[in-house]
Amino acid sequence: MSGSTAESAEPAAAGAPVPSEPVAELSNITRMYRMGEEEVHALDGFSFTFRKGEYWAIMGSSGSGKSTLLNILGCVDRPTGGSYRVRGQEVADLDDDELSTFRGAELGFIFQSYNLIPQLDVLENILMPVMYQDEVPEGIEDRALELAKRVGLGERLHHRPMQLSGGQQQRVAIARSLINDPALILADEATGNLDSKTADEILELFDELHAEGKTILLVTHEAEVGRRAENVLRLKDGNIDSVERGVSRDGEATDAK
């Protein structure tokens, strides 16, 4: 809403609904690594705003900066310059502890290799982000149970990750990413380790979440997966290459660039 964020694409084409409130605002983000004598700019003045309820696929070849962007979006890495706000909160203002709590409260992570904790069962894994919060909301166990059922694991609550298939593990990870009702769900090659049928099921789950109004950012290098998203953001050399909006899953592009 603030409008101060510079978007490279024209906002709100005619006939499109009024833009929803911004969830993640990145403004002039740079991320510089020092490799010996050389300075490498993984992100170079990146500015963009992700809004509530949007479903983005972030694409780009390796070295395009998409991993760095994801790390910054996920608040596990800090930009060397620029401003990043999540739901209005400037991330740079948070110290390490606050940032940790912030990650657990506002972000949902889904990884390529599921990243469940092997010694915890399904329910405990789903509850993981809550357990590190200073205050555990009431009835959170019921919510975890509900989420487990929702992703089709109601019968396997006390299985360990090793006892589950890849698809099932990824479902647990999705349930885990939802437990805190995060502002942003970040999925990093979420289907990369799955066969196409299972991948399809996971992507359908994302569609459902999108339909419910969740904000999803899906990093992928598979064009097929990217096509499933509502919008596609392409990166190249640490900045935006192209923005495609309104690519619905039915393929009717409304605002292709």
Partner 1 sequence: MRAVRLGVSSLLLHKLRSFLTTLGVLFGVASVIAMLAVGEGASAEAQDQIRRLGSRNVILRSVKPPQVGDEDAEMRVLSYGLTRDDFERISETFPGVEQSVPVLQTPAEVRSGQLLCRPRVLCTPHLFQAVTRRDLFSGRFLTVQDEANLSLVCVLGYEVARFLFPFDTALGERVKVGEHYLEVVGVLNSRLPVGTITLDPSSEAGGEVFVPLSTGRAYYGERQTQMRSGSMDIQEVQLHEIIVAAERDIDVPVIAAACRSMLKREHDEKDYEVIVPLELLARAEETKRIFNIVLGSIAGISLLVGGIGIMNVMLATVTERTREIGIRRALGAKRKHIVTQFLVETMVLSGAGGVVGVGVGLLIPWIVERAADLETIVEPAAPILAFGISVLVGIVFGLYPAWRAANMDPVEALRHE
Residues of the shown chain interacting with partner 1 in the complex, contacts defined by CB under 8 A? 71, 74, 76-77, 96-97, 100-105, 109, 111, 115, 117-120, 128-129, 131-133, 176
Q: Tell me how far, at minimum, the Cβ of 213 lies from partner 1, in Å.
A: 23
In total, the chain counts a number of residues equal to 257
Closer to partner 1 by Cβ: residue 107 or 243:
107
Measured distance CA(10)–CA(32) in Å, rounded:
28
Which pairing describes strands 38-51 and 22-35: parallel, antiparallel, or unpaired?
antiparallel
Measured distance CA(226)–CA(58) in Å, rounded:
8
Closer to partner 1 by Cβ: residue 19 or 166:
166
Measured distance CA(197)–CA(4) in Å, rounded:
43
Closer to partner 1 by Cβ: residue 5 or 115:
115
Location of structure tokens 């690594």: 33
Closer to partner 1 by Cβ: residue 95 or 252:
95
DSSP string, 189-215: STTTTS-HHHHHHHHHHHHHHHHTT--
Closer to partner 1 by Cβ: residue 12 or 117:
117
Q: In what order do the strands lie in the sheet with 22-35?
A: 38-51, 22-35, 81-86, 89-90
Q: Tell me how far, at minimum, the Cβ of 102 lies from partner 1, in Å.
A: 8
Please state the separation of Cα 249 from the chain's center in Å: 18
Q: Tell me how far, at minimum, the Cβ of 44 lies from partner 1, in Å.
A: 19
Q: Tell me how far, at minimum, the Cβ of 113 lies from partner 1, in Å.
A: 9
Q: Tell me how far, at minimum, the Cβ of 133 lies from partner 1, in Å.
A: 6
